[in-house]
């Protein structure tokens, strides 16, 4: 089966059990809540607002940096919190995306990962996501959304004059022009998985490297604990390998109909595709059963 083959029908969203009490909805954005054109449908906007009106918190949990949250910032209700960069940061969307919590990838570790991957996967190129923006190597696919990025080798981008003098590193991105996405992920985890966390959310061979133990799931779990919310009271949605831990942690979880096989295997259910408003379909069912 191909990675993006739909595996669901219009009734799938109603075929799986939900928590007895749902207190929080945690949803990925790209490929999950957002349609392929990066918009939210009217149905999804209405479902999110209805959930929060019913007293259910909604967390956006994404690989995106806080500065790319404009796609949903107009639809933030309630708390306005977002878990960004695969768990490396928590942002307050009511305060222009201000970072209120950071779990960095330490620069010496990042440099070691860069060294290992250069040896293990010749042809790899890197980008460095700081709390202040992204910078990348000359061979790395350019970020047109960040025209002010510095272009230099990763070793220079990660250099700091004194320990702690540089801005925190949220993640390092590694791109390979020839390896398949899953093969590249497996190779990286085998080569340096004891030093950092590796995942991916792109259909290309683009890996996202975070601090060891940093994930959407761990940061979400900490945010829920602060609010007295247990995993059994959370419903999560995702579509890619970077959602796997979160889908496995939540009491109920739904992979999208367009999801990667690893996400489907981790989830307790499957809903419609992102273009068919799969998240909204489940939220509507949650509200109908309250």
Whether 2 is in a domain gets the answer no
Whether 281 is in a domain gets the answer yes
Comparing CA positions, the residue from 181, 235, 165, 260 lying closest to residue 17 is 235
156: part of which helix (H) or strand (E)?
A: helix 154-157
Q: Tell the burial category of 103 from Cβ atoms under 10 Å away from its Cβ (0-12, 13-18, 19+).
A: buried
pLDDT in tens, 119-144: 999 999 999 999 999 999 999 987 76
Please indicate, yes or no, whether residues 81 and 41 belong to a single structural domain of this protein: yes
Please indicate, yes or no, whether residues 198 and 282 belong to a single structural domain of this protein: no
DSSP 214: -
In the chain, the percentage of residues whose pLDDT exceeds 90 is 79
Q: Give pLDDT < 70 ranges for the chain.
A: 1-15, 73-79, 144-145
206 three-state secondary structure = strand
Owning domain of residue 67: 12-102+215-288
Sequence-separated contacts (24+) of 119-122 with Cβ below 8 Å: 120/187, 120/188, 120/191, 120/192, 121/174, 121/176, 121/179, 121/184, 121/187, 121/188
d(CA 24, CA 61): 12
Domain ends where: 168, 186, 211? 211
Whether 1 is in a domain gets the answer no
pLDDT in tens, 205-223: 999 999 999 999 999 999 9
pLDDT at 87: 98
């Amino acid at each position: 089966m191909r990675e993006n083959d739909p595996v669901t029908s219009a009734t799938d969203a109603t075929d799986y059990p939900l928590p007895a009490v749902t207190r929080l909805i945690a949803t990925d954005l790209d490929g999950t809540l957002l349609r392929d054109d990066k918009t939210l449908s009217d149905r999804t906007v209405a479902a999110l607002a209805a959930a929060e009106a019913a007293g259910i918190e909604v967390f956006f949990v994404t690989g995106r940096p806080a500065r790319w949250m404009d796609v949903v910032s107009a639809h933030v209700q309630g708390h306005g919190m977002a878990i960004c960069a695969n768990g490396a940061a928590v942002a307050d969307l009511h305060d222009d995306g201000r970072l209120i919590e950071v779990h960095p990838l330490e620069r010496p570790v990042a440099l070691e990962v860069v060294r290992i991957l250069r040896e293990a996967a010749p042809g790899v190129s890197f980008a460095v996501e700081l709390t202040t923006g992204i910078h990348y190597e000359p061979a790395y696919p350019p970020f047109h959304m960040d025209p002010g990025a510095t272009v230099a080798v990763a070793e220079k981008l990660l250099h700091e004059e004194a320990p702690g003098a540089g801005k925190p590193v949220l993640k390092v991105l590694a791109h390979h022009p020839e390896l398949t996405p899953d093969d590249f992920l497996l190779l990286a985890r085998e080569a340096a998985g004891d030093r950092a966390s590796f995942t991916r959310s792109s259909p290309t061979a683009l890996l996202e490297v975070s601090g060891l133990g940093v994930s959407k799931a761990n940061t979400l779990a900490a945010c829920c604990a602060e609010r007295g919310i247990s995993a059994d009271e959370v419903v999560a949605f995702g579509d890619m390998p970077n959602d796997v831990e979160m889908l496995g942690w939540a009491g109920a979880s739904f992979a999208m109909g367009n999801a990667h096989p690893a996400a489907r295997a981790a989830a307790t259910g499957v809903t419609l595709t992102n273009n068919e408003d799969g998240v909204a379909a489940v939220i509507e069912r949650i509200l109908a059963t309250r």
